[in-house]
A and B are shown apart, each in its own frame.
Chain A
Amino acid sequence: MENRKVAVVACAGMDKALGSVARDSIFKVVEVLRPGKVELVCLPPLLAGVSAYSEMVKNLPVVAVDGCAERCATKLIVKNGGRIRGRVLVPDSAKKHGLTPKSASDIGSDGEKLVGIIAEEVASIVDKLTEG
């Protein structure tokens, strides 16, 4: 199982601050917390049906990070034949930790804290999937 990677698909929602939190948190996982262990799957090509991206979610264990109850990341992974092995719903963590990000363009200090929390949650799922 060495060199096994995990695909991460996150909400890229425009109209909610929690979409920005989802997006920022996976950058933190990919670039800071677990570089080399994660394939960041760009959501728009997955949505538009570009085969290289759907292959990625078919061939790797996938973690979905959803920014709202619509759960678009989850729906699109399933639609593309992916196997979801871990899920994070940003509004649940926001509620649990009492954090309210400001806006989509400026998530503010609560948003930054939430990015850190979500990123750690995703990193922990990545560890379980790559070590298990």
Chain B
Amino acid sequence: MGMAVNKVGIISCSGEEIPEGTISRIAALLVLEKLRYDETVTICLPLFLAGSEEERVFARLFPTITVDGCEKRCAEIGTKKYSGKPAATIVVTDILKKYPNLNLKSRDELSAEELELAEKVAEEIAKKVDEVLEQKRGPKRRES
């Protein structure tokens, strides 16, 4: 294709049913707006799955990372269906297993503890972004 790969598409679940959906959304936004501002773009999941050709073409041409809130893995399934296998996948409930004492409550406003979890998920996404870009264009040193 001859195209320089310098961006990764982040496709986040944002599900409304459980707090993990909100965690996935906040974590993805932290990566997009702060941690990896220059290296990432958002792919709007509703638009992507509702049939936006622009979003789907981007996801076909550039690597993607899906961020799912739960085991239904809607973002991952949708991405595979419409654009191909994501370069990396993250499921919030998998990360949550490392914190058995953390009890998520809010789908709306996150508590300090929940925000801390969102930050940890964001760091995992940022790490995956670096790995994906290194695979595509060779290693590059950067501060996390």
Contacts and interface: CB of A to CB of B under 8 A. Distances in A.
A76 B47 CA distance: 10
- Interface of chain B, helix or strand or loop or mixed? helix
A15 B78 contact: no
A16 B47 CA distance: 12
A110 B117 CA distance: 28
A130 to B, nearest CB: 20
Considering residues B21, B28, B47, which has the most beta carbons from chain A within 10 angstroms of its beta carbon?
A: B47
Nearest to B26: A105
B143 interface: no
Nearest to B32: A14
Contacts of B42: 14-15
A1 to B, nearest CB: 26
B77 A48 contact: yes
Given A13-B46, A70-B52, A75-B51, A27 B28 contact: no
A76 B46 CA distance: 8
A14 B44 contact: yes
Contacts of B134: none
Contacts of A27: 16, 107-108
A75 B48 CA distance: 12
Contacts of B132: none
B13 interface: yes
B50 interface: yes
6 nearest A-B residue pairs (beta carbon): A44-B74, A42-B17, A72-B46, A12-B14, A47-B49, A48-B74
Interface of A: 10-16, 19, 23-24, 26-28, 31, 40, 42-45, 47-48, 50, 70, 72-73, 75-76, 79, 103-105
